[in-house]
Structure 1
């Protein structure tokens, strides 16, 4: 059994060192996973789109990319997308407690606003905070997730400083598929869902519904905090998605996709002004968060060499806070921070032998509707991109050039150059260098008492080098990265520093032997400002994830281990604490195929009942279990 680990580093305001406790834990666990010899082939013909905007076999991808497919999502149980992402290399998160609450996702130590999030190619998220609501993305409605780590503004425009997370919703299939699931678990958890997918001639369709709720846990842990209330904080999520595809001809197709997820969850807080004179003990605070997404895509094959896609999309990020008197439900006020984005992307791909030339035009507007008075409430970004992908038997390369015109900050150009060389059938070396930029969010510019309208865009240059191995049933990757951000805007103080450096190392190993699959990922992350060497808040320097899946007859059993070193955070009111201790977590599960159409899943998270936090003053769930049944035809 794993217990919370008292992992210490050289703490607060200086870059830390790897503690002896952490090193010992890592070595102990790694010894338990012996070196594996390949015993059966793995499927390596998967393609990745996000790495270069065109489909590329995973074995030829230069960038540092991870894939989350439907198989992984089916075993997630009560976990949310944020928890699944946290199992990947180079990904960390912070959360204000419970199963569903405000979440920040950090790619390679970059701020949460520096991870660009797409749903079916359309950008989503808040223009006020600059980040996406990962807690409101329903797993049942997702087909696949691709995570691109590293600066990618040359490919995707502003904000892709730490990387890109692209979510693909459920697609139509060629044969009729019906499915339904239901489950229940600890802390009042309940979930249910149903979907139908199929095709009738040239028309493909997919429709799905899902619901999740729980009585939850008390998320705030510090009685001295102004928002503390020792109650259970519940949540309720209702989601629906639909996709309709029409094959107009052998060369033309249209796809319409929509997704809506509405979440209501309790949090601890009060409002100003306070007409009823409520305190933190007498306030019932609710956040109503809604994600709405719609896109229309036109795919056209104009010739054997030229194909294009036109995407027109819109996304709404709605966040409304309402406050009531706990005793009788009397209304005490509300505030809202809503964002509407519209986007048009026209991409053309021209095959030149084995090479691909890509030309792209893109326009995006973002507008906010808030009870807070922002002096500027809308901006427009237009971009043009050219890329050229060379593909040769032993090596490949990608060159990208992009220019964006921001209505507030003018023209910014970015470039990227990457290459990979295969020096044996199994081993491959990769390297890349490029630039990115990020305009300040509306909060950073205009939020009363915090914003500064004189802030300028952050610009950075990133480089990385890696070694990849694919052979038989084993794949491994090691990536060393260095990213310098000029004019870094501190997300806590909103002060524009001269320089911040994101540097680190990620290791990733996946293997299969017989009926057992193994995975090990390790991250060393050292994001800090210069010249003072201040560490970024809520980022652990060391993170280790291990998992093993084993099939026995009709059952699949698995275990997941996570170790994290300590992190720094803002001090709690009434305490001198500024370090979040390291921790260890163990998750176990089993998925049993009862019959051809029926399966049962039991997932036990935090088996060791570790008390840990990802943000000062907020708790995370202890030991919890969920059991579910899934029927599929």
Structure 2
């Protein structure tokens, strides 16, 4: 859905505004596939899903992917510095390693740490994002305890479109992008490239001492830069109705600087990440469609320090092969797949024994969705057999009922699990090869009301996670956590052209053994956006509020809550030229999401876009 904002009061009196009622109704009915891997309208799914479309991505201007995701319902982000710095995300309070990140259906991330480097994914190459909140192991396998973030790269469309963008902003930031997309109904293509650089700011502050006096004396206030070069491309062929062949590639490389070690000397991470996908889809009949998929993702980064000039290299390759089938039944749709995931991890460090390990996961799954009169039904089951284990079975069932044409109630129950990371299993003097998977059981209920351009929704959930792996050696399965809370969402258009959107999240994420809050999760977060659509563009305001958090386990190092005020606008100087501007943290609020690490102050960005259509 498009984004909303509180600037309505500033421009509501303009008499020449264009009514957006029809557009509002269209964006209220986006189609998603992440919920159960079958295309559905959002209002027909029984999952808790958010869609971030291209308009929202362009409105984000120079914001990073992590900043954009932090403004979505049910997601919290932490960062150890500015653009390019290490980030973590929490979906409904679940840890980064307890969620899955996909790019065009291909799993990405580090097998060593179990996290995905979202900070290195350029927004310019993304068409849309789907966020699935809640357990999804019955659909996507291991690690989907908290949810799934699926990123879709840009694709070709009929005609020929050229897109050129350049802009500059605070902290010595520059961002340039170029893209060409086209198609004729049989062949479509997309090519794009981008270059982003910022001089940045110091990733650390004097509080980084962490109790060591010497580190405060050696605090390093230098700027920490970030560079990201990326290219993407896709080709699709539709030789006949019901048949499609496609291939796509996304590659990004660059570096980010940060301060590390007792003396906090300059350190640099060099990264090169890529995702390759290929698919062949064919409709054999009007009720049977099969798809053969192949995907490979590579996450490779090397950390250099003055004390380690050779660097520490960490590389993960993930290869996916899948055969999928969709069958239209008299009652509903059946989805099935057989899949193989191979994860190869290589860690090369000068000071410890190297890690060179491979894990294979063979899977089979079935899913069924149906709408019978006012009843909505969904059931999924999956079995994963993985190297070093006997296998894991997961399931999900959901039921919804349309109380009226606008009001739907739903309930769901699902299980999930997470496999230990390669570091947790094999890292010298730290890992434990006998670790078991973490597991979870989730219950949730929801209520959604939708009419024309207005949507109201609430979801309450209770997710219990067992066999949690502790964070200090010796690693064992000892802990249990309970993640429960509620998400409230609202979106509407007023006067036909003023868009309002907001969400509030209430979260209780606690260690069941101690009763203490889990680290770096706020108990309350909220986002409000107001956006005014005009003939010559749009203008908007965002307010993002985050409650207090504890930086370390055991409720140590409290970090206060904060609220950020952001402004954005797009002015169309002509049908082909537009000016985009954004100001983040206008109130210049100083805050931190990880103790001792800085975040950006007030910053601005202005860019010009040229989009001729041939």
Local SS of the residue matching 1:537: coil
Partner of 2:489: 508
Q: Which moved more, 1:344-353 or 1:187-196?
A: 344-353
Alignment of 1:364-375 (within 5 A): 364-372=341-349, 373=353
Q: Distance in 2 between the 1:142 and 1:491 partners?
A: 34
Q: Distance in 2 between the 1:531 and 1:280 partners?
A: 37
Following superposition, the deviation at residue 152 of structure 1 comes to 0.5
Alignment of 1:209-228 (within 5 A): 209-222=193-206, 224=209, 226=215, 228=219
* Residue in structure 2 matching 1:539, options 513, 521, 538: 521
Following superposition, the deviation at residue 113 of structure 1 comes to 0.6
User: Any conservation in 1 of the 2:76–2:521 contact (CA below 8 Å)?
Assistant: yes
| Residues 1:434 and 2:414 aligned together | yes
Partner of 2:82: 98
Local SS of the residue matching 2:138: helix
Q: 1:367 to 1:300 in 2, by over 3 A?
A: same
Q: 1:343 to 1:39 in 2, by over 3 A?
A: closer
User: Any conservation in 2 of the 1:297–1:309 contact (CA below 8 Å)?
Assistant: yes
Following superposition, the deviation at residue 468 of structure 1 comes to 0.5
Alignment of 1:58-77 (within 5 A): 58-77=42-61
Partner of 1:457: 437
Q: Distance in 2 between the 1:447 and 1:541 partners?
A: 34
Following superposition, the deviation at residue 491 of structure 1 comes to 4.5
Alignment of 1:197-596 (within 5 A): 197-200=181-184, 202-222=186-206, 224=209, 226=215, 228-270=219-261, 280=263, 283-324=265-306, 332-372=309-349, 373=353, 377-491=357-471, 494-513=475-494, 514-570=496-552, 578-596=557-575
Following superposition, the deviation at residue 411 of structure 1 comes to 1.2
| Residues 1:152 and 2:152 aligned together | no
Following superposition, the deviation at residue 228 of structure 1 comes to 4.2
Q: 1:78 to 1:414 in 2, by over 3 A?
A: same
Q: Distance in 1 between the 2:498 and 2:472 partners?
A: 44
Following superposition, the deviation at residue 317 of structure 1 comes to 0.7
| Residues 1:604 and 2:588 aligned together | no
User: Any conservation in 2 of the 1:114–1:159 contact (CA below 8 Å)?
Assistant: yes
Following superposition, the deviation at residue 450 of structure 1 comes to 3.2
Local SS of the residue matching 1:219: coil
Partner of 2:610: 631
Partner of 2:148: 164
Q: Distance in 1 between the 2:202 and 2:266 partners?
A: 13
Q: Distance in 2 between the 1:495 and 1:101 partners?
A: 29
User: Any conservation in 2 of the 1:293–1:316 contact (CA below 8 Å)?
Assistant: yes
User: Any conservation in 1 of the 2:550–2:556 contact (CA below 8 Å)?
Assistant: no
| Residues 1:126 and 2:110 aligned together | yes
Local SS of the residue matching 1:448: coil
Following superposition, the deviation at residue 535 of structure 1 comes to 1.1
Following superposition, the deviation at residue 541 of structure 1 comes to 0.3
User: Any conservation in 1 of the 2:333–2:368 contact (CA below 8 Å)?
Assistant: yes
Following superposition, the deviation at residue 571 of structure 1 comes to 8.6
Q: Distance in 2 between the 1:307 and 1:157 partners?
A: 22
Local SS of the residue matching 1:83: helix
Following superposition, the deviation at residue 577 of structure 1 comes to 6.4
User: Any conservation in 1 of the 2:133–2:146 contact (CA below 8 Å)?
Assistant: yes
Q: Distance in 2 between the 1:218 and 1:511 partners?
A: 40
Q: Deviations over 1:380-436 (max 9, x none)?
A: 001000111122231211111110001122211011101111010110001100111
Q: What is the number of equivalent residue pairs in this alignment?
A: 582
Q: Distance in 2 between the 1:104 and 1:599 partners?
A: 34
* Residue in structure 2 matching 1:176, options 160, 175, 195: 160
Following superposition, the deviation at residue 496 of structure 1 comes to 2.7
Q: 1:192 to 1:354 in 2, by over 3 A?
A: farther
Q: Which moved more, 1:403-412 or 1:618-627?
A: 403-412
Following superposition, the deviation at residue 443 of structure 1 comes to 1.6
User: Any conservation in 1 of the 2:520–2:552 contact (CA below 8 Å)?
Assistant: no
Local SS of the residue matching 1:135: helix
Q: Distance in 1 between the 2:48 and 2:60 partners?
A: 23
Unaligned runs of at least 5 residues, structure 2: 1-5, 11-19
User: Any conservation in 2 of the 1:126–1:317 contact (CA below 8 Å)?
Assistant: yes
Following superposition, the deviation at residue 172 of structure 1 comes to 0.8
The two structures have a TM-score, normalised by structure 2, of: 0.91
Q: Which moved more, 1:107-116 or 1:241-250?
A: 241-250
Q: Distance in 1 between the 2:90 and 2:322 partners?
A: 26
Q: Distance in 2 between the 1:552 and 1:172 partners?
A: 28
Q: Distance in 2 between the 1:109 and 1:377 partners?
A: 30
Q: Distance in 2 between the 1:492 and 1:555 partners?
A: 53
User: Cα RMSD over matched residues?
Assistant: 2.0
Q: Deviations over 1:573-598 (max 9, x none)?
A: xxx96101100100011110110000
Q: Deviations over 1:443-463 (max 9, x none)?
A: 222223432223211111111
| Residues 1:193 and 2:177 aligned together | yes
User: Any conservation in 1 of the 2:441–2:465 contact (CA below 8 Å)?
Assistant: yes
Q: Deviations over 1:228-255 (max 9, x none)?
A: 4221000010010000011232232110
Q: Distance in 2 between the 1:39 and 1:245 partners?
A: 33
Local SS of the residue matching 1:455: coil
Q: Which moved more, 1:545-554 or 1:135-144?
A: 545-554
Unaligned runs of at least 5 residues, structure 1: 1-28, 271-278, 326-330
User: Any conservation in 2 of the 1:99–1:621 contact (CA below 8 Å)?
Assistant: no
User: Any conservation in 2 of the 1:376–1:446 contact (CA below 8 Å)?
Assistant: no
